Amino acid sequence: MLTHLFTPLEVPALIAGKLPQIKCDLPRDGGQNSIYKSIQVLTDYTQRMALEHNFKMVQQCMALVEKLYDKGNGLVKNAIENVFVFSFSTIMSRCNAVEWRIVQSYMPSDLYALYVRQVLKSKC
């Protein structure tokens, strides 16, 4: 049985459906870079929610990213790995230890493992 994988063209609508408050910021053109722009909008929103201590919304964003990553095609996964996961360092640098632990507790384990590998690779 074949499972449908989300394509880059479907991602903005999926994000807007779960987070209507950022719908206006999502790209509408469907161009080649729109998947990266969509994930960047989601990333920026997640960071803002973490800094505002809206951890319930951070949890919702992380769950959405996990769904997009698990059911996304290769381009969707690549955008999440290179934009969203890469942003974890920025979140960590702006949070205190307690805030970071809370944010970290909502991170999908697969994406946190990717983040750890990115950090280790950059330390070479």
pLDDT in tens, 21-52: 999 999 987 777 899 999 999 999 999 999 99
What pLDDT does 6 receive?
A: 93
pTM listed for this prediction: 0.91
Q: Does residue 112 register a pLDDT over 90?
A: yes
Model confidence pLDDT, tens digit, residues 4-18 = 899 999 999 999 999
Distance between CA atoms of residues 24 and 45, nearest Å: 12
pLDDT digits (tens, 9 = 90+) for 79-102: 999 999 999 999 999 999 999 999
